[in-house]
Structure 1
C-alpha cells in the first residue's frame, strides 16, 4: 500500500482483499454502496459507525488506540516506535485489527487515527490528563508519602479530582495540605475552585512511562477444573429434570388458577411469591420459569377484559413429550429469549420495581450475550469447567470491555446461573447437548440429552405409612397412574407420594376400579403391598359409586331407596333443586359436575356415569387458550454479514467511482431531471459514437436507492432505453444524469 495522507487516499490505494475485510468487519459501510473512496472514508469517520467498529475490540487493542490518542495521532502522523514505548509492548497485532476496520491508517512510520475516536473515547484517553511539556523530565523522588498517595490515586485514572484546597493558590512555604503543596510545585493543575487535574507527564512517570497497566496487555487466565464429560452431562441432566418438574407444576397450577396480568403488564409480586411457595423454590427460579413458559409459547396473555396468564394448547403437547424433548424446547427458548429475567425485582429509572413478564425486561441483544458466554465455555477442553463465574466475568470483560453497557458483568453472572438451573451447563462446563444446540444441530442435542437423562424407573416402593417412593424418574405411563391415585408429598431425585382416602376416590372418579388399583400396586411395587393400603382401597370403593349421576341436565340414580331418601332429606337437595322421578332416580337442572361437587361437600360419594353406564372423569383439565403468534426468526449469534458476492459488487462500484473521479473528461452532456427531449438525443449520439470507437464514457448515474454516483463505462450496445456496458452492466437511460467521453 502506498503512503497516504488521508483516509480516503489510504482506502483508494487498498487492495481488494483489504477492502473486503473492511466491509466484512464494518457491515454498515456497505449499505447503500458508497459511490467512491471519499464517500467510504466519510462514512467510516462518523461517530456512530466508528463506535460500532470498536465496540467488540479487546482491552489491549483499545489500549493501543488510547496510546495513539495520547500521542495525538488524531491530528498528526506518529511513528509506531512512539506507541510501542507508551505501551511497553509490541502493538503490531492490535494495529492490524485497527487498520482492518479503518479506525487507524497509514504505514508504521506515519500512523493516524480517525479524529472522531477522541470524541468516543472521552477527554481522558488511557486515564491521562492534559499534557504539560515542561514536566517531561519531572523528578518525583522527593515527594512526601501523603503527596505520593494523592498523585497515585489520580494516576490510576481518571485524572480529575475534587478538593476544597484548590480554592486559593498559596506559595509552597505556606502550603499545609498535600494538594496545596502539589499545586504550588506545578504537579497538579487547578481547573476551578474545587477541581484539580493530574498532568499527563506526571501520571506517566508514576506508571513507569507506560500509558496502560500491565494487566491490560494480556488476557486474564481462566482457571478450570477438569471433569469427565459424561459426569458433566449427567449432573446437567439431573438439574434439567428438576427444572422440568417445576415447569410442569407451574403449568398445572396456572391451568387451575391463572394469575392476573398487571395493568402495566407482567406478573405481580403476590402471584410470584405464591408460585414460589407452592413450588418450594426461590423467586429467581419462578421468574425464569415464567419467562420461559411465555417465551416457549406454553403460556400467554389471555387478552380478555380481565387478562390472565393462561397456558396455551401447546402445553398439552409439551406435557406429553419425552423429558429430553421438553428440555430442548425450553433450552432453545432460553437461547433466543430477547429478555433478561435477572432484571426482575430491580429498580428502573423511576425507582419502580421491574416485574417479571413485563416490557421492562426486554433486551433485544440478550441472545447475543448468552451465546457469547456459552461460546467462551465451548472453547475450553471437553469436560473442563470454570472454577467460578467471576473469573469468566473478568475474561469476557477483557475481551470486549465496551460491550454490554452497565449490565455487562451482571449479564454474564445471570447467564451462568440460568444455564446451570436449566441444565445447559453443569460444574461450570458446557454439556454435550448444549454444544450441539449452539451448532444448531437439534437432533444431536436431543440425542445427547436423552442419553444423559436417568433411565426411567418401572417400579415404586409402597410403604406401610401409605407413602409411595419413586427412586427416580418414573416411566410416563406409571407416573400418570401414580399421580392419579396419590399426591406428591416431597420431590427431588426420589419423589415421595402420599395416598389418602381423597386420592383413592379421585382415582375411582377417573374411571379406575378397585381391582385395577390393587393390580397397579401389586405389579409395580418392589415391596409387599401393605394391608393398610388394601383395606383403604376396598373401603373407599365399597362406598364409591353407589350413587350415580347423569346429565338431564343431571340425574342421580341408586338401587338403594334408603340412600335416595337420605339425599332428599339433606339441605343439598333444596340447594340443587333435586326431585324424584322414580323410586331410585333424582333429577336436577344444575350441571352434573357442579351437582357432584355439592354432594361430595355434603358428605356423599357420588360418581359420574356416562351413557353406557361407565364411570366418567369430570375433573377439569385446566384452562387453555390458542398459542400466540411468535417471531419464527432464529436469533443469530451476530447480525448477518455481507456475502462475498455483495462485497465484490460494492468494491466494483467503489472502483468505478474512483476511476470516474480521477479521469479527465471532455465536453459534458448534462440531463436535468434525468433527461428527456433533446438531451436524450444528444446522449444517444454520444453513446453511439463511444460504441463505434470503443471509447470509455464518464456518466453521472442515480441508482435505485436514489444515490448519485459517477461511473466509467465502455458502451457495448445502446437500445430499448438501456445502456449495455462491456462488463455486462445495464444502465437505464432515464437514470443517467450526465455523460462525457473520457479523454486520453
Structure 2
C-alpha cells in the first residue's frame, strides 16, 4: 500500500468507474486531461478537493475527519485506527460505506483495509477534525502540565488553534528567540516548543498539544449526527396531485397573461439601481391578486422566459417582448412548460426580493442583487430529493426536508441553504411543479426529460377544454372548465373575470359589452354567442343590456381629418359641441351632423366616453373598427434565450475522455525510438518533412508511432497509433487498443517517435 499512489489507483479503475468519477467531479474533465497522471494531479488540488467535499453527507464527513485524525493524508491509515476516532454507534459497515463514497469521487484510495487521503483533504475537513504533526521534542513530556501553567494570552492562542485548524498565520514567527527575549505570546510559545515554526509567517500546533487541549483526538466527531433525519411523509393519489398541479399551472399562466397585458399598456420604469420598484410590484400584485412574494416569483420567471425585458433605452422600462406574442398563441400546457423550464434554470433567488442587504438597502425584484449562479443547482437538489420519493408520496413539512438536505450536504448552500429549500418548495407549488407537498407528474417529467415531455404530461393532466358556458340571472357567466381558445377570447372580450379557479366566473357589464362593440362585434353577434354557447337559458336582463348598449353605441361616428365625428341626429352633434369637453378636444362643427378636430381620433373617443357619450370608430367603409392599441413590444434580447444551467456531459462523452486518457497513458509508458519534432524542438529531425518521412516509414513497415499533439484550445495530448496513410495534411492511423481508425492534422503534431518493440 505504501507504494500505491493516486495515479496508480486511478489507472487500475475500469472505464465505467472513471466515467462516474468525471460525472461526479466535472471540473476534472475540463479541459480534457491528457492522461491519468494529469487527472490525479487535478483531483488532489485544494480547490477541487474542497468542491468534492461539498457533496459529502454528514456521516461521510465524520469519517473523513476521523481519517484526518489518523493522519491518513500523510500515510495510509488502517480502518481499525479510524474507527477509534468515531462515535461508538457508528458501525464498521457504515464506515466502509462512507469510505466507498470517498473512493468513488477520488477523495480516498487504497485497498479495503487501509485508506489514503490527498494532502489537501486536511483543509477540506472540519475545523476541529485534524491535529497537527507531532513534535519530536514533546515525546514523553507532560504536555498537560505545561499547559496548566501558561499565561492567559498564550493559552488563548493555543485554544484558538485547537478549536480551528492547527495551522496559523502570524508575523511573529519571523525569528525564533529564547524565552527570556520573547515578547509576544507567539514568540513565547515557539520558545517553549508548544508551537512549531513552519516558515516566517506560519506556525503549527503540535499534535500532542492539540490532543491535550481537546481532551481527545477528535471530539468533534463524537457529537455529530451519524444517522439521516427521518422525513415524515403522507400518501396522496397521483391523479389528485396532478389535477392540483394542473389548476396551479392554469393560474400561473393566467397571471402571466395579466402581467403582459398590464405592462403592454403601462410599462413600469427600471430603477436607477436596476430592478422593479415597490409601487410597481404592488400594482402587479393587486392586478393578479397574489402576495408580494409570489408576485416577485411571477415577474422573475416572466423575465427569465424572455416574455418581458429591460428596454435599455434612455428611459428604460420593463416591456413585453416579441416572444410574448408567440407565448400567448401557444397551448396552455406549452405556455406552462416554458415558465416551469425558465424557473428551473433561473440563476437568481426570487425569495431575496423585498429583503434588505447588509447595508439595509432593499433588494428589488429583477435587480442584479438577486443573482446567484448556484441557484439552479440548489433548486435541482430540492426537486431531486422529492423525486426520490415514490409517486404520490408527499412531504409533510418543508423544514424537515431542509434538515434532511442539510444532513446530506452540510457544506453546500451557505447561509441561505435552509431558506433556499423552503423557497424552492413554495415556488414550485405556485408553478405546479409540486402539488400537495409531492412532485407532480409534469414536474417529474420536467426533471427527467425536459420541457417538451413536461408539456405533454401537463396536457394530459389539464381538464379537457369545454365549448360552453353557463349564463346566470345575475349577469355572471360561469366557465365550468378551461374554455376552448376561440371561445375564451370571445368571452374575455365580452365579460370581465370576477373570480378564477377550476370554474372561472365572468361578469357582463355595460363597459364589457361596449368593449366588445368597440372591437367590431354587433349586438346580433353577442346574442348569438350566448344563445349558442350557454347551456342555461339566457336571461332577459342580458338581452336587454346588450340591446340598450348597442342602441346607444355607434350613433356617434368618428374618423380622421385628423379626426371627425358624425351623427345622423343633429341634436346629438349639438349636444357634443356644447359639452365642456368640446373645447379641450378642439371640436368644430362643419355641418349639422359633422364635427372635426386636429387631435388623434383615439384621444377624442376616450375623452367622449369619459364624458358619458358612447362613440365608436369607423373605417373608410363605414364599419366599426377597433382602434385599441395592441400594447408595446420590444425585440427579445438574444442573451435572454440562452440556457444558464450547464448541461451534464453524456455517458458517451465521458467515455471518450476516458479513452483519450488511456491513450495518453499508453503513449507515456511506451519506450520511444527515433524522435522528430516538426517545430524544430528536441530530437534528430529537422521539421515537418522528417516527421512525414517517419510516419510514412512506419505505415510501410507496420510500426507503432507515439504522437504528441496540441488541439485548437492549446491542450496537449499523447497517442499511440499505427499509421495507415498520410496525405492532404492528415495522418490516418489505427489505435492498437480500441482498433479504431483515427485522423490527426499534421500541423497539430508537436513530436513523433517510433515505439520500440520489446
Q: Tell me the TM-score normalised to structure 2 length.
A: 0.79
Partner of residue 650, structure 1: 660
Identify the match of residue 116 of structure 2 among 112, 116, 129.
112
Deviation at 1:434, TM superposition (A): 1.7
Give the secondary structure class of the aligned counterpart of 1:74.
coil
Distance in 2 (CA, whole Å) between partners of 1:609 and 1:346 is: 52
The CA RMSD measured in Å over matched residues stands at 4.2
Partner of residue 220, structure 1: 229
Spell out the pairing of 1:350-365 with structure 2 (5 A cutoff).
350-365=359-374
1:9 and 1:541, CA in 2 relative to 1: closer, same or farther beyond 3 A? closer
Identify the match of residue 98 of structure 1 among 99, 102, 105.
102
Q: Does 1:487 align with 2:508?
A: no
Distance in 2 (CA, whole Å) between partners of 1:284 and 1:482 is: 31
Deviation at 1:683, TM superposition (A): 7.6
1:136 and 1:448, CA in 2 relative to 1: closer, same or farther beyond 3 A? farther
Q: Does the 8 Å contact 2:496/2:508 carry over to 1?
A: yes
Partner of residue 255, structure 2: 246
Partner of residue 294, structure 1: 303
Distance in 1 (CA, whole Å) between partners of 2:347 and 2:279 is: 25
Deviation at 1:350, TM superposition (A): 4.2
Deviations 1:123-147 (A, max 9, x none): 4228x89999999999xxxxxxxxx
Deviations 1:434-477 (A, max 9, x none): 2222222655433432333344452224234x444545544444
Partner of residue 319, structure 1: 328
Identify the match of residue 91 of structure 2 among 84, 89, 92.
89
Deviation at 1:684, TM superposition (A): 8.4
Deviations 1:302-329 (A, max 9, x none): 2222111112233334334433232222
Unmatched 5+ residue regions in structure 2? 145-158, 167-194, 196-206, 736-740
1:700 and 1:321, CA in 2 relative to 1: closer, same or farther beyond 3 A? closer
Identify the match of residue 615 of structure 2 among 595, 606, 616.
606
1:24 and 1:367, CA in 2 relative to 1: closer, same or farther beyond 3 A? closer
Q: Does the 8 Å contact 2:586/2:597 carry over to 1?
A: yes
Partner of residue 585, structure 2: 576
Distance in 2 (CA, whole Å) between partners of 1:12 and 1:29 is: 15
Distance in 1 (CA, whole Å) between partners of 2:525 and 2:675 is: 99
Partner of residue 339, structure 1: 348
Deviation at 1:717, TM superposition (A): 7.9
Q: Does 1:459 align with 2:469?
A: yes
Partner of residue 73, structure 1: 72
Q: Does the 8 Å contact 1:86/1:210 carry over to 2?
A: no
Deviation at 1:66, TM superposition (A): 1.3
Q: Does the 8 Å contact 1:368/1:638 carry over to 2?
A: no
Identify the match of residue 267 of structure 2 among 237, 258, 261.
258
Identify the match of residue 510 of structure 1 among 513, 519, 522.
519
1:650 and 1:580, CA in 2 relative to 1: closer, same or farther beyond 3 A? same
Deviation at 1:513, TM superposition (A): 2.9
Identify the match of residue 681 of structure 2 among 657, 662, 674.
674
Deviation at 1:674, TM superposition (A): 2.9
Give the secondary structure class of the aligned counterpart of 2:84.
helix
Deviation at 1:393, TM superposition (A): 1.4
Which stretch has the larger CA shift, 698-707 or 280-289? 698-707
Partner of residue 378, structure 2: 369
Partner of residue 594, structure 2: 585
Spell out the pairing of 1:303-702 with structure 2 (5 A cutoff).
303-440=312-449, 442=451, 444-456=453-465, 458-464=468-474, 466-525=475-534, 528-630=537-639, 632=641, 634=643, 639-640=648-649, 643-660=653-670, 663=671, 673-674=680-681, 679-680=686-687
Distance in 1 (CA, whole Å) between partners of 2:712 and 2:617 is: 72
Deviations 1:696-740 (A, max 9, x none): 777776666556677777778888988877746777499455868
Distance in 1 (CA, whole Å) between partners of 2:325 and 2:693 is: 74
Q: Does the 8 Å contact 1:659/1:711 carry over to 2?
A: no
Q: Does the 8 Å contact 1:297/1:630 carry over to 2?
A: no
Partner of residue 121, structure 1: 125
1:517 and 1:405, CA in 2 relative to 1: closer, same or farther beyond 3 A? same
Q: Does 1:6 align with 2:5?
A: yes
Give the secondary structure class of the aligned counterpart of 2:411.
coil
Distance in 2 (CA, whole Å) between partners of 1:484 and 1:48 is: 60
Deviation at 1:239, TM superposition (A): 1.9
Distance in 2 (CA, whole Å) between partners of 1:215 and 1:509 is: 69
Deviation at 1:606, TM superposition (A): 1.7
Deviations 1:224-268 (A, max 9, x none): 111110011111122222222222222221121111111222111
1:741 and 1:599, CA in 2 relative to 1: closer, same or farther beyond 3 A? closer
Distance in 2 (CA, whole Å) between partners of 1:206 and 1:366 is: 38
1:248 and 1:133, CA in 2 relative to 1: closer, same or farther beyond 3 A? farther
Deviation at 1:73, TM superposition (A): 0.9
Deviation at 1:512, TM superposition (A): 2.9
Q: Does the 8 Å contact 2:498/2:505 carry over to 1?
A: yes
Q: Does the 8 Å contact 1:19/1:651 carry over to 2?
A: no
Give the secondary structure class of the aligned counterpart of 2:586.
coil
Q: Does 1:60 align with 2:62?
A: no
1:214 and 1:613, CA in 2 relative to 1: closer, same or farther beyond 3 A? same
Give the secondary structure class of the aligned counterpart of 1:615.
coil
Q: Does the 8 Å contact 1:713/1:725 carry over to 2?
A: yes
Q: Tell me the TM-score normalised to structure 1 length.
A: 0.80
Which stretch has the larger CA shift, 89-98 or 344-353? 344-353
Give the secondary structure class of the aligned counterpart of 2:319.
strand
Distance in 1 (CA, whole Å) between partners of 2:142 and 2:122 is: 23
1:672 and 1:492, CA in 2 relative to 1: closer, same or farther beyond 3 A? closer
Partner of residue 174, structure 2: none
Distance in 1 (CA, whole Å) between partners of 2:70 and 2:363 is: 46
Give the secondary structure class of the aligned counterpart of 1:488.
strand
Distance in 2 (CA, whole Å) between partners of 1:721 and 1:603 is: 84
Q: Does the 8 Å contact 1:265/1:358 carry over to 2?
A: yes
Distance in 2 (CA, whole Å) between partners of 1:499 and 1:473 is: 18
Unmatched 5+ residue regions in structure 1? 139-152, 161-188, 190-196
Distance in 2 (CA, whole Å) between partners of 1:57 and 1:106 is: 19
1:450 and 1:137, CA in 2 relative to 1: closer, same or farther beyond 3 A? farther
Deviation at 1:24, TM superposition (A): 4.4
Distance in 1 (CA, whole Å) between partners of 2:729 and 2:633 is: 62
Deviation at 1:374, TM superposition (A): 1.8
Partner of residue 175, structure 1: none
1:5 and 1:522, CA in 2 relative to 1: closer, same or farther beyond 3 A? closer
Distance in 1 (CA, whole Å) between partners of 2:392 and 2:408 is: 23
Partner of residue 738, structure 2: none
